Chain A
Amino acid sequence: MRQSGIILLASFLFLISLPKLSVQDAEAIFTQATKNLVSGDIEMDMEVKTTDSKGRVKEKGFKVLVANFGDVEKMKVSWQKPERAKGTTIIITTTPNEIGVIEVYTPSNGKVRKLKATEENMKLVGSEFSMINMKMGDPKELLFTYLKSEVLNGKDCHIIDVKSKSKDATDLSKGRLWIETQSYKIVQIKVYDDKGKHITLVELSNFKPIAGIANKIQPMKMVSRDINKNKITSINILKISKPIGVSEADFVFPQRGNL
């Protein structure tokens, strides 16, 4: 069982980081759908509202910064809300053909802990999405299947299955996507685990153009439903843009020099 938020982020990052694919219809539709989405370096502010099965609500706020420095990809997730968690930060550095590094910073004690970005450790820091993202990023590891077209919320949609070929594929081993035939917006994703059980439903809406990035749109609202736990996670992207003048110094903790 994984957190809905993680799955939602995973789905989201999966979409924005897809490489150019070059196979038949399903792949072509998929490529068309993703080419307008933001990819590469981004920064955003988001609010995550989680409602559990008993109706209790928890709200969190994050700043996310993703940047590539040559082959090295860095991602920083900083807590903005609630007040007690403010400043808590995770930085994940991934390098091709190398095991990456996860750094966890807790401002209350000024401690930074480093972990190797093994799949196991990625789960420990809640960053499983990044590992899946990397695996799914390789077109040789993906299988595409066109299923049918269907009307969803009054709009015609293509339905496509995207599946990892990897035997090690974990929870997100299959995603079923609903892509609007006219606009090529991905409006719904069903996530299945490796046993074929439907575990999450993600709905994407409120697509908006991204300031400073031409011809790019972004779903500003994503709602994920954890089917098993009856938990709803709603992500509202408050601000998204291409970072200007981002450098490696932006991925350094304030106390780093003291480590």
Chain B
Amino acid sequence: MGPGGWLRQFGLSGARSIAEFQTEPAPVARPTERRTYRIGFGQPELPSRIPDYVDLFEHAPVGYMLLDASGCIERINRTGAAMLGWDQEWLVGKPFSRWISNNDKQLFRAHQHALSGGERCTSHDLRAKNRQGRTVSLRLESTLETNHLEGGARCRSIMIDVSGEQQSARKLRLLQSQLTHVARLNTAGEMASSLAHELNQPLGTVVLNCEAALRLLKSGASQEYEFAEALTQAREAASFASDVVRHLRGFLQGNGELHTVCELSVLVLDVSTLIEADARDNDIELQLEIERDLPLVRVDSVQIEQVLLNLAHNSIEAMRDGGGGPNRVTIRAYRNLPEQIRVSVTDTGPGLGVEHHDRLFTPFYTTKRDGMGIGLSISRTIIEAHGGELWADIDSGNGATFTFTLPSIGGSPT
């Protein structure tokens, strides 16, 4: 088969654009294209145009590739070879899966499977390692060659380098999560600051009144009225301060007004959607193990999602800092007692030292460089307000597990 022959055979996407060039009388050189091809005018005589078409094929802005039935490269254009970083000749005969990164090999098999399963065209984003060891993200769009009889089905693939695209998407996600973080910090900071202000007012009154009373007592001056007034007002200010604290606790505990009956599995799935991208960016596998037919719970779903999100984020952060090894976050939801559901978040990170264990839930205690140290303490307040418990099992060097319980209200989703 000559170059023209297999070019025609190569078919759909690549050949379609060539066919368009042949039939359209309009000039084809668009301002955005770097190369100008002198084709498409008048009645082309194919044989004499072949070098042009070969040139077009080789230097197309996307990679073209023909894989045989065993998944080995039969033909690849120059752009495609450049994406992998090897010479075209050298690539021929090598299995394409060799360049797919380990984490995506299964996805590539699914890609091939979809084709042999009868799908006409399939597309996946896969990560590949090139010769320089750099990971590139390739969008692979493949079609099965239908008119090839001998030697099983071959597939034609277009490779598009989407690394830049994915990088900007990643950057966007990063910015979004930073924004959320800043917003959370702001809320927490504002809360802490206004709490400090609210508490320092009455405390200032308590201190001044007590000191005045002490001084009056020591001086022996008979100012009984002042003495009694000082103590009365100190007591009033102190109970005002305790009202402030009670009010804050009430605010966090939400009085149960926003509690609704819901399925815990739905909340877990919501949260897993939120952290999926973050986990994938950090090469962390996210695993969900949700027991079937879990009984329903009555909770403030936003708060419980907040707790789960907080625990999952902590796990991801813990593994991001420690390198190597298979990283995995597992969220389990299961029935513990007939009336109780347990949810646990386990990571395969470095775990936490025993020295941190006692203070994990202490407000403003943190092991993170930029942490506020309030995530876990607020999470515990929320869970306890729901009548549950939150604790940590720390297996040093072998990850950490945070578990919380929630009372179920009986009955299972129908």
Are A and B co-members of a single complex?
no
Residues of B within 8 A of A (CB): none
